Amino acid sequence: MPQKSLSLDQIVEKLIETSKIVENRMGLKSQEEARVKDAFSLLASRRCSVKKKPYLELLQRVHKRIGGYGVVLCAAIGPTMIIALKDRDRVDLVVRMEEESGAIEQGELRKLANQYTEKCEVPSTAADFLN
């Protein structure tokens, strides 16, 4: 049975809730960890299938405007939810994440982002993504 796509507001709530769970658990579940590894590898390679291109573009915007902890958070909920959003909602998601940053538990997410950024050699600046 296909997964029902969520609205932008529902995705934002899911991101906030996931941040709290990751913080309280002090880490990721194995399935979330696999998705995060894939996301950082995708960012590092900058190449993907046409199907995943919207996901890669969102990860690049999140990394540029919010940082690695936002990439961990988006990856933890899964690319399927992100890809299912309308293009406009994916653009607005980054803005909403910035607006809701106070509600997002960032401590554990930042630690994880630092680990994966080093392992995958993710570009550190927006200009690096364009090269």
The number of distinct structural domains making up the chain is: 1
Look at residue 2 and tell me if it is in a domain. no
Look at residue 128 and tell me if it is in a domain. no
Look at residue 131 and tell me if it is in a domain. no
Rounded to whole angstroms, the Cα distance separating 92 from 125 reads 21
Q: Which residue, chain included where needed, has tokens 């960012």? A: 43
What would the pLDDT profile of 68-105 be if each residue is shown by its tens digit?
A: 999 999 999 999 999 999 999 999 999 999 999 999 99
Distance of alpha carbon 115 from the chain centroid: 15
Whole-structure pTM value? 0.86
> What range defines the domain where residue 110 resides?
8-123
What would the pLDDT profile of 44-69 be if each residue is shown by its tens digit?
A: 987 888 888 999 999 999 999 999 99
Provide the strand spans (E) within 13-82: none
